[in-house]
Amino acid sequence: METASVVSADKASSVPPGASWGAHLGATLALGSPLVGAQLAQMAIHVTDTLMVGRLGTTELAAAVLCTQGFYLVWIFGSGFAQGLLPLAASAEGRGDRAGVRRSVRMGFWALGAYGLLMLVPLWHFEAILLALGQEAETARLAGSFMRVFEWGLIPALFIAGFRSGLSVVGRAGTILLVTLASVVLNAALNWVLIFGHFGFPALGLNGSALASVLTNVLGALALFAYCRWARGLEDYRFLQRIWRPDWPAFREILRIGLPVSTTIIAEAGLFAASSVMMGWLGTVTLAAHGIALQLASIAFMVPLGLSQAASVRVGVAFGRRDWLGLGRAAWSAIGLGFAAGCCGAILFWAAPGFLVGAYLDKSHAESPAMLAEGVQLLAVAAAFQLVDCLQVVSAGVLRGLADTRVPMIMALVSYWGIGMPVAWVLAFTAGLGGVGIWAGLAAGLFFAAVMMTARVAMRARLGLTPA
């Protein structure tokens, strides 16, 4: 039993004490690569939706942008509970406490399920929310109809996030990648059938895309459940064993760590969602161009996001083992890899913006040239903030591995809403820069978050987060 525990921990994230920097980089890549791949595959699902919906028209695309952003805002807050279970489960894995891993994951599912049920009500009234935010009536109507189908995929999507955290800790990240890749294919096929009406199915248009997403999330969650239930080698990690049994101390720990994580995540995601609302005030063409540029930026962001999750696991396991040298090397190897990924994304955005934005557009539509011009300008700003966005997300992942979530939450709130949003408003509407001004404000908020969180990682021993 003891040997099996050590092997599992090694697969999850760790290397022997005193290992070289190269070994730590290799371990981060070994864990992070399937997580990055899963994030990119998940984004491919959203890209497929956008590409197919974009063929329906500009208004439909704008409605889908608002709906997807609204759903994502709700989902990403809930996913904080999945992120919150990571340091608890990883630390238990580092100690060889498999029952502790199981308890943390099980109570994470409790938190995810309860949150998902609560959010079904506001999502049902999404059209009214958009109208109150000043969106155009037809766009709001289409988005509201879309959301009344789309929202039923929320709880399965949250459970997928829970499975992702649990399987990452026990060294089964490759399974997450395989299931997500299968979901990409399934979602594309369902979109093609349900949006445009093939094989005898009715052409459901925008709502067909919503239904395709729901079915994809449900089947993905069921596949991960089946794997965790019956896969060999996971007998001691039956995450949903006695799922009905409460473990209130573990549940309170999930909430204690997860709520600040959720708030941190929502502070950034909310900033981008608010930017979509402000873009809507500038017109449908600007909003649609914003949606395209935002999705391209999000694709690039998936690489450091996957590395951030790997950092949380690796740092959490090292913390559980009290391996302070290994913890520091795990942290900085992930941050370095994340920054390198950000540089690659920035270079791509600067080198080929027209090609990237144009891939989303149907050249036969009258608004396409205006959307292309607007999207290229926004992507130039996105290239600049790639360099800092990667630093803040990986540093935040390191801090979560230490169960340090409250102070980073405050840093995020100050950076995104105390700095980013006011700068975006002033540049867009006072200085008259429009959409480019909004994106410059986003970059300002990300810059301050990156500086503060990376500094906190560097000062972790001085701040008492770890021994010197």
pTM: 0.82
d(CA 398, CA 338): 12
Q: Are 379 and 293 in contact (CB under 8 A)?
A: yes
pLDDT digits (tens, 9 = 90+) for 422-461: 999 999 998 988 888 999 998 999 999 999 999 999 999 8
**Residue 12: its pLDDT value, please?**
42
Average pLDDT over every residue of 220-248: 85
Give kind and range of the element (H or E) at residue 64: helix 58-95
Q: Are 88 and 250 in contact (CB under 8 A)?
A: yes
Mean pLDDT for the chain overall: 86
pLDDT digits (tens, 9 = 90+) for 167-210: 988 888 889 999 999 999 999 999 899 988 888 787 787 888 88
d(CA 155, CA 112): 8
**Residue 3: its pLDDT value, please?**
34
Six-digit token string for 123: 């999502």
**Residue 366: its pLDDT value, please?**
66
For residue 395, the tally of other CB atoms under 10 A from its CB is: 28
pLDDT: which is higher, 135 or 343: 343
Task: Check whether 10 has a pLDDT greater than 50.
Answer: no
Six-digit token string for 275: 């930017």
pLDDT digits (tens, 9 = 90+) for 115-165: 999 999 999 998 898 888 877 788 888 888 889 999 999 999 999 999 999
pLDDT: which is higher, 468 or 262: 262
